[in-house]
Amino acid sequence: MKVTIENKNLHDIQADIEIVFVIDKNLEHKWVQDRDTLEALGFKGEKEEVAFLPEKRRIYVGTSLDHDEIRIATAKAVQTLKNKKFKRAKIGVYIQNCPITNIKAVTEGAILGDYEFTKFKSKKSEGGLDEIVMANEEYADKSFTIQNAQKAIEEATIVAETTNLVRDIVNTPPNEIYPESFAKLATQLASEEGIEVQVLDEKDLENEKMGAFLAVARASANPPRLVHLSYKPQNPKAKIAIVGKGLTYDSGGLSLKPSDYMVTMKSDKSGASAALGIILAAKKLELPVEIHAILGLAENMVGGNAYKPDDILTAKNGKTIEVKNTDAEGRLVLADSLCYAQEKVEPDYIIDIATLTGACVVALGEYTTGVMGHSDELKETMLKAAKSSGELAAELPFNRYLPKLLKSEDADICNISSSRYGGAITAALFLSEFIEEKNKDKWLHLDIAGPAYVQKAWGYNPYGASGAGVRVVIKWLQQKFVFNQKHP
């Protein structure tokens, strides 16, 4: 899908079909040329309501000027035109406050809404739009420049296409993507963008004393990998470590998952996939921050040498961990990966991204990321970025009582809480034990277990992977280090 803008009025642009947004149910706007037909169809312009008029070569979608509603409306139009013979659509510009925000929203909605994962389909879908052209004409005659619009389209295209790349990686099955093949893919993609790559194999992990990470991977025929990607622009404003959980498959280990819960566990690599996408997008956008993406890649399988409940593991920082449940494996991989990031990178900020807990889905639902950390100010900046990016996020608060639930009688800490409640927060508090005291207020944990992989379409997201984490972290980087939090 390609999105462009032409320095022409809407009427003067040649296209196969016109997309018209009905804003706040206003059927009296000059762009709504088919009022009688729409009224006859009972079309009221409700959000996400679509009226496709092929004989008029127009498609109407109800929406508001909110940027995420614009994304959804654009995706609805694109999805309605799937398998149709219309190739080129035209659309006006819809501005709410900032001139470029909804231009980006249309671009992202088009590219994200057009996504399909068809790699393993013998028959591919045919037809659908190839291009959406924006006009130099605005819904309420607000002013904007073609140059700024073109830049907005370019930036949004990078972010949306990278999100789709992450969707592809997450959707790919575990027989295709396992730690070694993921590491090779990350190396290839990073090298194409001039990003530095270092890959640590199992011997390197032993040398780094990553006993928790190695225990998780022990029973798999596919050995683990840690991938360290580095984007280093000149005169960076900050140094950021992004640590991603990359369980390319999770059977639960000896604490075996029920079969229904094992299906979709290819998605347990969503955090590492997002971290890879973030650094690729940051490089393409030339963001003025040094970024290190640390991908902890392993399989949690069953075998005679599998790590066991009651085992005591020693993490990279020397802390001992009593294993109570081998299905709480992601936090073990992240614990060592976070230690590695702090030692090797010495970052100004640390963000870890993980499909960490089903408890987060219970707390917030399938569509929302849980944001946790010790710094209220830092959490607020991420929540603000989420709102601007279109990703849903909410805070899950720490308190002084929950850490006590991780107490072990035989080791420094248990890998799961002694209570069934508050599991998303206690998992984050477990990770906090591997954040150095000087870095506590520099660290954020994003639990993307809900939105990373959903078995139904929602908004501009298809069945399966959503690419959760990419857009929100890129927006956070832009707001904090490029726009100084003043830009949408």
pLDDT tens for residues 292-340? Answer: 999 999 999 999 999 999 999 999 999 999 999 999 999 999 999 999 9
Domains and their CATH numbers in the chain: 2-136 (3.40.220.10), 163-481 (3.40.630.10)
> Rounded to whole angstroms, how far apart are CA atoms 241 and 442?
10
pLDDT at residue 57 above 80? yes
Confidence at residue 484, expressed as pLDDT on a 0 to 100 scale: 65
Whole-structure pTM over 0.95, yes or no? yes
> Rounded to whole angstroms, how far apart are CA atoms 79 and 276?
28
Whether 387 is catalytic: no
Strand partners for 242: 293, 351
Tokens of 17: 């079909």
The one catalytic residue in 331, 471, 475, 480 is 331
Tokens of 277: 């996408």
**Chain-centre distance for alpha carbon 40:** 41
Q: Which of 189, 216, 213 is nearest to 307 (CA)?
A: 216
**Mean pLDDT for the stretch of residues 126-145:** 95
Q: Is 214 left (phi over 0), alpha (psi -120 to 50) or beta?
A: alpha
Confidence at residue 257, expressed as pLDDT on a 0 to 100 scale: 97
pLDDT-derived band at 268 (thresholds 50, 70, 90) equals: very high
Confidence at residue 303, expressed as pLDDT on a 0 to 100 scale: 97
The one catalytic residue in 257, 319, 344, 387 is 257
Whether 407 is catalytic: no
Confidence at residue 483, expressed as pLDDT on a 0 to 100 scale: 84
Q: How far is CA 171 from CA 153, 165, 176, 273, in A?
A: 26, 10, 10, 10
Confidence at residue 124, expressed as pLDDT on a 0 to 100 scale: 82
Confidence at residue 488, expressed as pLDDT on a 0 to 100 scale: 42
Cα atoms found within 13 Å of the Cα of residue 154, Cβ hemisphere only: 9
CB atoms within 10 A of CB 404: 12
Burial class (CB in 10 A: 0-12, 13-18, 19+), 236: middle
> Rounded to whole angstroms, how far apart are CA atoms 236 and 349?
13
